[in-house]
Structure 1
Amino acid sequence: MYLTGKQTTLLGQIMQTLAEPHEETEIREIMGDLVMQLLGAQFYASFVWQPGSQSFAQPIQINMDPMNLRAYESYYQFHDPITPLMQRYQVAVRATDVLPIEELKKTEFFNDFLNKDGLYWGVNLYAWHQGQNLGDMRIWRDKRRDNFTPDEMRLLDMLQPAFVTALARAQRSSQPEALTLNILSQRLTTREQDTARLVMLGMTDKEIARALHISTTTVRTHLENAFRKVGVSNRAALVHKLRP
């Protein structure tokens, strides 16, 4: 697979972005701009699957009409002939891989939703982690351009592990209470417990500060208090002491 100099640079930027601590929404927003450049695409949308309601929500878009996306959320996703099939894939998948373009063009979904923004050729990538769909990338071109090539799909597949890891990390960071601590944690304040949980995830002081919306100085204060209360002197020992 041949990469241009621009694509090589963009791949580096994407990998750097995915390695940095970002909130889940930020990851999907930043990735949209970079992946569109990488693939020479014109349109981008991203959603998060909601298992409870069996629907997609939390949309992000680039070059698409927000009103059209709201119509997707309320109606068209429930009359969508391609996305439920594409969501089953754990690799990049084109719309034409699940439904020929001539068949898609006959549908209400194409004529009343996709066509409004000029979407014609599409490829999706889903972030699957431990059986959960954490988010997706939906990348589109208009009909003046060509369909996505196998090499371009392989580029997306190369990004998928880092994309999944970044979204999973962001989800854990936003829900530190989901990590279980043992009975010793009762000696700590709620904020000290949150800090300890993020230490268990291997996060740096800077990453913890960003996740909890506090300063790095406050993070260190919470850690020093936790060390003293649990009777340890470093992060590794704290993790060992508090792990169930």
Structure 2
Amino acid sequence: MHFTAEDLRLVLELVELLGRPSRENLIDRPDVIQKLASLFHADFIGHAVWSRHNGQFEQATHWGRDAHMAVEYEQHFQFLDPISPLLIGREDAVPSDSLIDRRTFRNTEYFSDFLLRYRVYSGVDLYPHDAGQIQFNYRFWTSNQKKRFGEREVSLLNMLRPYLINEYQLRHMARTNTQTDTAVENYASFLVQKSEKPKPNHKAHKLLAGLQPAEREALCRLISQIPYDPSVAAQWNGFDLCVEYAADEHKKGRAYMVYLLARTVGSGSWFQQHFDLTLREGEICPLLLKGLADKQIAAILKISYWTVRIHVGRILEKLAIDSRAGIGLAVLKASHNTSVDKAYLPHTSSIVFPS
């Protein structure tokens, strides 16, 4: 696919901006949204977050149209939207015209009663999702009835896909740090610079201490590759790896912070992140949540009954609960205090920032 010099310039500028954390929704960042509009030749950009809890889109926002449009979509028209169901299971960007015949689409109530009023006719959509559950969407559409979004727009959006996911995670983290007592230092993170070993913070040191030497080496090798290698999947042991530009104190080139963010509430990695548990303690917690007895846990993890007993005692102490029956309440309390939205973090593709 051929891209102009202007296309590539905008992509590089967007990659730079998307790698810088912000509490603001992407739609509310003029520096980003104007470049996206220019890149895709779109005059409407929509964004919404999928709530696994409620089974619908929430936090709908948009750029380029009347403010009421997002409210109407969230409250009513998302349930008439014929495009969304056709995108489930698709990882890559898709032009709307390739999903449904344009004439058929324009005969729908969704188009005639909603999009037509706002002069939104066709575009390209991206719905990153995890394990079949849509997490959030981006829509780049136009009021030009003759325009057809195709290979160019799909290629550009697929190029930006990992950076949009990464931006979503940075935003989630930035909002959590502001609205709760959680600080960035409470995430396991590594400072990454070329030709140097990743430098772990205190949380990452604790995580590394619970690993075997070969496991530590493999994780550090992965951390070193994440900002530079497009073929590397940004996941490890239940964590998503999120990349942020960092200040380079020694002026040796671009520096990055790689954060480990637990993917699923109640998972072993989530317990490690929130309660400073060891790797083994994190593995035991989801089994306790299922109500399994110590002997059953020992059999599953292939460790002794007495080792499980020791771990459970330490878990209760770290979670500040009196019995294993309180672990579910501890999860609910912790997830309530640290969740900014009800959506889980999305599946992360590889992330590569320009040097």
CA displacement at 1:123 relative to structure 2: 1.0
Aligned residues between the structures: 199
| Compared CA separation, residues 194 and 62, structure 1 to 2 (3 A) | closer
Aligned-partner Cα distance in 2 for 1:237–1:63: 44
Aligned-partner Cα distance in 2 for 1:2–1:50: 37
**Which one of 183, 191, 198 corresponds to residue 194 of structure 1?**
183
Aligned-partner Cα distance in 1 for 2:157–2:112: 27
Contact 2:94 2:126 (C-alpha < 8 Å) held by counterparts: yes
Tell me if 1:240 matches 2:205: yes
Q: Which has the larger radius of gyration?
A: 2
Tell me if 1:26 matches 2:36: no
SS at match of 1:201: strand
Aligned-partner Cα distance in 2 for 1:33–1:47: 18
Aligned-partner Cα distance in 1 for 2:175–2:132: 19
SS at match of 2:2: coil
**What RMSD over aligned residues (CA atoms) do the two structures have, in Å?**
2.6
| Compared CA separation, residues 132 and 34, structure 1 to 2 (3 A) | farther
State the match for 1:41 in structure 2.
42
1:177-192 superposed matches below 5 A: 191=181
**CA deviation profile, 1:114-172 (whole Å, cap 9, x unmatched):** 10111111211123356654422111112443211212211100000111122123323
Contact 1:92 1:153 (C-alpha < 8 Å) held by counterparts: yes
Contact 1:128 1:164 (C-alpha < 8 Å) held by counterparts: no
1:36-115 superposed matches below 5 A: 36-115=37-116
Aligned-partner Cα distance in 2 for 1:80–1:145: 22
| Compared CA separation, residues 110 and 174, structure 1 to 2 (3 A) | same
State the match for 1:179 in structure 2.
none
| Compared CA separation, residues 21 and 112, structure 1 to 2 (3 A) | same
Aligned-partner Cα distance in 2 for 1:115–1:18: 32
Deviates more, 1:131-140 or 1:62-71: 131-140
Structure 2 gap ranges (5+)? 193-198, 207-275, 279-355
CA displacement at 1:90 relative to structure 2: 1.2
Tell me if 1:147 matches 2:136: no
Deviates more, 1:90-99 or 1:79-88: 79-88
Identity of matched residues, %: 25
Deviates more, 1:140-149 or 1:9-18: 140-149
The one-letter code sitting in structure 2 at the alignment partner of 1:6 is: E
SS at match of 2:138: strand
SS at match of 1:47: strand
The one-letter code sitting in structure 2 at the alignment partner of 1:162 is: Y
State the match for 2:16 in structure 1.
16
| Compared CA separation, residues 5 and 48, structure 1 to 2 (3 A) | same
Aligned-partner Cα distance in 1 for 2:105–2:77: 14
TM-score (norm 1): 0.71
Deviates more, 1:139-148 or 1:89-98: 139-148
**CA deviation profile, 1:3-55 (whole Å, cap 9, x unmatched):** 223212211111001111122x4334444332211011111111111111111
State the match for 1:123 in structure 2.
124
SS at match of 2:183: helix
| Compared CA separation, residues 134 and 170, structure 1 to 2 (3 A) | farther
TM-score (norm 2): 0.51
Aligned-partner Cα distance in 1 for 2:77–2:94: 20
Tell me if 1:161 matches 2:150: no
State the match for 1:209 in structure 2.
none
Aligned-partner Cα distance in 1 for 2:131–2:170: 13
**CA deviation profile, 1:68-94 (whole Å, cap 9, x unmatched):** 322211111111111222243211012
